[in-house]
Amino acid sequence: IGLGLVGFGIFFILFGMLLYFDSVLLAFGNILFLSGLVFIIGFRRTFTFFFQRQKLKGTSFFLGGVLIVLMRWPLLGMLLEAYGFISLFRSFFPVAFGFL
């Protein structure tokens, strides 16, 4: 269930960006992505991942971007989300590129 939710979330986010930042599709994609993440790793691990002391800046930008997308400012919200996503998952990028 979790992988399906994350997959649909990424699909809706990409489709929303393709349709000139449609705020409804982006908001739906964000909600699906976050709920899928909770289903995959659990609520407690998701909470501890996002709210670690060294990741609070990235978390605030990412969740603030989600909130701004939900308030119908999709371009600004996606920019904030992208910065927060990069800041949150900075340690995973070298591992992913090494794997590729």
Q: Does residue 98 surpass a pLDDT of 90?
A: no
pLDDT over threshold 80, residue 95: no
Range of the domain at 39: 1-98
Tens of pLDDT, residue by residue over 59-87, are 999 999 999 999 999 999 999 999 999 99
What's the pLDDT tens digit per position in 14-64?
999 999 999 999 999 999 999 999 999 999 999 998 999 999 999 999 999
Helices 74-88 and 23-41: crossing angle in degrees, nearest 10, is 30
Q: How many domains does the chain have?
A: 1
For residue 96, the model assigns a pLDDT of 67
Using alpha carbons, list the distances in angstroms from residue 27 to 3, 48, 88, 92.
18, 23, 20, 25
Please report which residue ranges of the chain form alpha helices under DSSP H. 2-18, 23-41, 43-50, 56-70, 74-88, 93-99
Q: What is the pLDDT of residue 26?
A: 94
State how far the Cα of 91 lies from the Cα of 33, in Å rounded to an integer. Answer: 20
